[in-house]
Amino acid sequence: MTPEDRAIRYLRRRIPSFECVPGCHDCCGPVTASSTEMARLPVKSEAVHEAALAALSCPHLGPNGCEVYEERPLICRLFGTTPRLPCPNGRAPAVMIDSKVEHQIHWFARHTRQVLV
């Protein structure tokens, strides 16, 4: 396991979860993720990526929601867990993310190669 894999695993465990509004995908848009996270996701064609970007959506968002939910990038997991990235529907975990963990996630993003999802 690489140092990046260990960091991702560590940070994932520290992001609180909450229940989204069924059928909502308001936070599913163009985001960046580390190349390590992207390597875990299925490869999408350039056409799929272009169509998603044109729609301000995610290429992994299907008719029934996120198709890569278990492997979704850290940024996707962070939405709704911090006042900086609030849920547009007002949903949130019982306890928001610890600010130190949020800073660690931002540090990780700044110090790893990021690519457009």
Task: For the full predicted model, state whether its pTM sits above 0.85.
Answer: yes
Q: What is the DSSP string of 22-81?
A: TT--TT-S--EEEHHHHHTSPP--HHHHHHHHHTT--TTEETTEETTGGG--HHHHHTTS
pLDDT per position as a tens digit, 75-93: 999 999 999 999 999 999 9
Share of the chain above pLDDT 90, in %: 90
The reported pLDDT for the residue numbered 22 is 86
pLDDT per position as a tens digit, 15-38: 999 998 888 899 899 999 999 999
CB-based burial of residue 58 (10 Å sphere; 0-12 exposed, 13-18 middle, 19+ buried)? Answer: buried
- Which of 82, 70, 81 shows the shortest CA–CA distance to 8? 70
